[in-house]
A = this chain, B = another copy of it.
Amino acid sequence: MTFQKRAQKILELLEAYGEVEIRQLAQKTGASEVTIRRDLSTMAANKLLYRTHGGAMKTSDLIKPVSFANKAEVNIKAKDAICKKAAEDIAEGDVIFIDCGSTAFRLCQFIKNKKIKVITNSLPVVNELQHSAVSINLIGGEVNPNRQAVHGSMAHEHIVRYRASKAFLGVDGITIEGLYAGSEHEASNTMAMASQSDCIYMLCDASKVGKTSYLKFNDLSMVNILVTNFSGPEIKEFESKGIAVYSVRL
C-alpha cells in the first residue's frame, strides 16, 4: 500500500470519526505504526490534519485553506435551499457576479454544469468552479485571508470594468431600513457589483433578515429580488418596497 493510498484512507476515517488513533490506522492499512506516524507528520506538515498524541484530529475547517465546503457550517440547509432557488434563474450564456461569503458560495454546486461566465472575488468560489463548465473571471486586488476574498481599490476598479446580467450578493444584515455589512471593504465590493448588474439578487437566510450590523451601506432600492427562508410579516413590507421575494422552505 502506497503513501497516497494510506493518506486517502486516513482522511476518510478522519472525515468519518473526527479523530483517529495510530493503532487503528496501522491495523486498517497493514502498515507499521512507525510508518503511520511518518504519514501523519507529513500530512500535518501539509495541514491536512492536526497531530495529537497517539493519533490525529480533523483540521478545524476554519483553518482549511479553501472551504466553506463544510457541513458543520451554520444554516447550511437554508443556504442550500436559497441558492437552489436562485440558481433556477440562471440561464446558459449569462454573465453573473458572485459575492464572497458563505451563502453565495453555496450557489456553486448548482451552476457547475451551466455554460456561463462568473465574475467573483471569492477564492472558494474560484476553487469550486475551477474545473467545471463555468468560465471564471477573478477580481484582482488585495487578498484578505480571513474572508478568503479579494478587496481593495483595485478590486473596485476591476468590477466596474465589467457588466453582468445578474448579481448574487450577500450581506450581514437586511431590514426595511437598508443593507448592513461587516466592513467597508465588503460593502464597497457589494455596491460595485450591484451597480454593474441588470438584476440584483440578495441571498439571505433567516438569521440575516431583521438584523443590523456595524455599517449601513445602502437602502433597499438597489435590490431587485430577495431570496430567503425567512417568513414573517416583514416580507410584505419588502414587497411593498418593490422587491420581489422568493420564499423557500426547508
Q: Does A69 contact B (CB under 8 A)?
A: yes
Q: Does A2 contact B (CB under 8 A)?
A: yes
- Cβ B19 vs Cβ A48 within 8 A: no
Q: Is the CB of B63 within 8 A of A8?
A: yes
| B65/A42 in contact, CB under 8 A | no
Residue among B3, B46, B138, B142 making CB contact with A53, cutoff 8 Å: B3
Q: A142-157: contact bitstring with B at CB < 8 Å (1 yes, 0 no)? A: 1101001010001100
Q: Is A238 an interface residue (CB 8 A)?
A: no
**Which residue of the partner chain, among B69, B143, B148, B161, contacts A154 with CB atoms under 8 Å?**
B161
Query: Assembly of this chain: how many copies?
Result: 2
What string of 1s and 0s marks CB contacts (under 8 Å) between A92-130 and chain B? 000000000000000000000000000000010011001
A27 contacts chain B at the CB level, 8 A cutoff: no
Does residue A217 face the partner (Cβ distance < 8 Å to B)?
no
Contacts of A8 in B (CB 8 A): 61-63, 66
How many of A's residues come within 8 Å of B, CB to CB?
A: 48
A47 CA to B8 CA in the complex, in Å? 19
A43 within 8 A of B: yes
A40 to chain B, nearest CB (A): 12
A150 to chain B, nearest CB (A): 5
For window 25-46 of chain A, which residues contact chain B by CB distance below 8 Å?
A: 42-43, 46
- The verdict on A143 contacting B137 (CB below 8 Å), with A50-B4, A66-B7 known, is yes
Given A2-B53, A19-B5, A68-B46, is A142 in contact with B137 using a C-beta cutoff of 8 Å?
Answer: yes
State the Cβ distance, A141 to closest chain B Cβ, in Å. Answer: 7
Chain B neighbourhood of A68, CB < 8 A: 46
Contact mask A56-79 → B, CB, 8 Å, 1/0? 010001110110111000000000
Q: Which residues of A contact B (CB under 8 A)?
A: 2-5, 7-8, 11, 19, 42-43, 46-48, 50, 52-55, 57, 61-63, 65-66, 68-70, 123, 126-127, 130-131, 135-143, 145, 148, 150, 154-155, 158, 161
